[in-house]
Structure 1
Amino acid sequence: MLALRGNRGKRVRHPLGVSAEADGAFVLPRPLRKSVRLLVGLGTGRVRFPAHTGTFSAAAFLLATGLYGMSLGGHTQNFAQASTTAAGFAIEDVRVSGNEQTSEIDILQQLGLDGATSLVALDIAEARRLIGELPWVESVTVRKVYPGTIEVDLAERKAFGIWQHGSDLSLIERSGSVIAPLRDNKFAALPLFVGRDAETAAANFYDDFSRWPEFRARVKAFVRVAGRRWDLVLKNGIVVKLPEKGVARAMRVLADMEEGHQLLERDIAAVDLRLDDRTTIQLTPDAVARREVALKAREKMLKELEKQEKRI
């Protein structure tokens, strides 16, 4: 072990087994020696710092303090946006692809772009989340193109039909998920499904009903009844009541009656096909009134004939 300097300023190595304490000298612990030497050097002037070190240190301290304060106050994002925008990274162009129902204005409003938004400070994950909240958006990809462009690629949901629940009309997907309220006549050609649970059962029934295209083209609305069966409301106002099971059998009966008697062109209100052994036809109020008049006239005619036969 090396002891402190001797009388002549030279280091003296003690013999093995003899410690510095035997000479009355104090030896610092090893971890503290470098720190003490640095302090002694600073005090004696042997250690010197480069020029302006103190200025730079003070500036760094103030900058660190400012950044820490902005972080505590939640202003870091605003500072980053303002500084990068001033440096020429403001978002100036938004390129949208894959959109048919989603307008570019909706996307700009959803992202809150105001012409001074920084591309550097834009959070891509948050931008995807915000755009994904728009009703027609199924998936979205957002990409930065420096210095000032955003590319947005959309995959939109597909409207399958219109669902009427109460007085509200909504566009639905094949799965029955509601896309958005119906606002205009752009989707008037889509099939209309009415009633509770009609939206979830619509796709399967509509696909099965495609086996009778001549009737499907005449349907104005498919009405779900008690969550079990369907009624067909035709464009001329006639209601065809289908059974819960055996729809194919009921449609064959309807096809035969239409072919043989043009049933659906007559003055009737409804055709009830729910029972296997019989078909019930409901007349319109006008048809009922005409039938009553006809029955009374026939009854009167029969009475007149009966009187004439008695005279003879």
Structure 2
Amino acid sequence: MQGVSHRPEAGFSPQPTPPRKGWNRPQSHAAKPKRDPAPSRLAYRLNRMWLTPGFRKLTRVGLPAFVLAFTTLLWLSDEDRRASLAGGLTGMVEKVQNREQFMVNEMTISGASTPVDKALRMMLPVDLPASSFDIDLDQLRQDILLLDAVKDVDLRVKPGGVLAATVVEREPVLLWRHARGIEQLDEQGKRVASVTSRAVRPELPLIAGEGADRVAEEAIRIFAASGPLLPRVRGLQRLGERRWDVVLDGGQRVQLPAQNPVAALERLIALDEAEDLLARDVSVVDLRDGQRPTARLGMTAQNSIRAARGQPLLGPDGKELPAADKKS
């Protein structure tokens, strides 16, 4: 019906709605509490630890590495397993090293004399053919450089299994006579080889005395400055490991100073060319004092002067001769 209002009229009380079935039933237990969304203390601490970089690295890397290492050590604790593993690795390495491309079949040596060539072949640590892994080139080079005659050496393994050695030998320029014999020296005073006598290498100038080898370069400069005197020079003698004496033929000596010996020798050569000093009967020319050079007369010149003065003559030992010897 249209236009009918459902609002209750005055004085009309609606009937109460009857309760539904079961509404008045007493509750058997209390309502469950709501769950707390906050994490537990343990979960919070574990979460904080996981956010630490070191803990994450330990968990992801350290723990697997520890397990792997522990397993490996446990497996290797058995002696038979270790022996089997070592044998397998050794066999594998030998199989690789003994391949044809790694084998050295021959050795070639260039720039070496016959004795040095023979010494180098004897110093090879293995018999050829051998694997190049069995030849330590650096150690072999150091051993070869210990030879007096070798100045430098280059070692290379060339294609085709050839060990090539290029040797630079020391060139002897001096003979050094000392208490233990005669040695050949290079321009730096390094020993090259021994000789039995000077006649073996007569073309080499001679130096003598202890410590002369340590100043070989100075001796070479003195020989080079000798100029016109060089044909008369028998050698240089080192005195007191401090200075040189130039020994000339006929027994003449030139005493050089410890400092600037070349300059002193050049002054003597100029004086000899002007005054013909060394052609006279002079036994010693002392140049140790650069401001006052002196000369010692020979025995013949001394006796001539003594005879002119009416003095007793001198013998070979420098002592005066008895009267009978003087008359004779």
TM value normalised by structure 2: 0.54
Q: Does 1:157 align with 2:157?
A: no
Q: Does 1:175 align with 2:188?
A: yes
The one of 244, 248, 267 equivalent to 1:252 is 267
The one of 183, 195, 208 equivalent to 1:194 is 208
Identify if the C-alpha distance between structure 1 residues 63 and 122 changes in structure 2 by more than 3 Å, giving closer, same or farther: farther
Runs of 4+ in 1 over 6 A off after TM superposition: 87-90, 296-300
Alignment map for 1:102-251 (pairs within 5 Å): 103-115=116-128, 117-119=130-132, 121-182=134-195, 187-207=201-221, 210-245=224-259, 247=261, 248-249=263-264, 251=266
- Give me the whole-angstrom Cα distance separating, in 1, the residues matched to 2:310 and 2:229: 36
Q: How many residues align?
A: 229
- Give me the whole-angstrom Cα distance separating, in 1, the residues matched to 2:260 and 2:151: 37
1:151, distance to aligned residue in structure 2 (A): 0.8
1:255, distance to aligned residue in structure 2 (A): 4.0
Identify if the C-alpha distance between structure 1 residues 216 and 66 changes in structure 2 by more than 3 Å, giving closer, same or farther: same
Q: 1:270 is matched with which residue?
A: 284
Q: Which amino acid aligns with 1:280?
A: A
Task: Name structure 2 gaps, 5 residues minimum.
Answer: 1-62, 64-80, 313-328
1:227, distance to aligned residue in structure 2 (A): 3.2
List per-residue Cα deviations over 1:61-83 (Å, max 9, x = no partner).
97634357xx7xxxx9xx949x9
| Alpha carbons 2:102, 2:133 under 8 Å: kept | yes
Q: 2:307 is matched with which residue?
A: 295
Task: Name structure 1 gaps, 5 residues minimum.
Answer: 1-30, 32-59, 301-312
- Give me the whole-angstrom Cα distance separating, in 1, the residues matched to 2:260 and 2:188: 24
**Which structure has the larger Rg?**
2
1:232, distance to aligned residue in structure 2 (A): 0.2
TM value normalised by structure 1: 0.56
Give the percent of matched residue pairs that are identical in Structure 1 and Structure 2.
Answer: 24
Indicate the RMSD between aligned Cα atoms, in angstroms: 4.3
| Alpha carbons 1:258, 1:264 under 8 Å: kept | no
1:226, distance to aligned residue in structure 2 (A): 2.3
The 10-residue stretch of structure 1 (206-215 or 250-259) with the greater mean CA deviation from structure 2 = 250-259
Identify if the C-alpha distance between structure 1 residues 103 and 152 changes in structure 2 by more than 3 Å, giving closer, same or farther: same
The one of 75, 90, 99 equivalent to 2:112 is 99
- Give me the whole-angstrom Cα distance separating, in 1, the residues matched to 2:225 and 2:84: 75
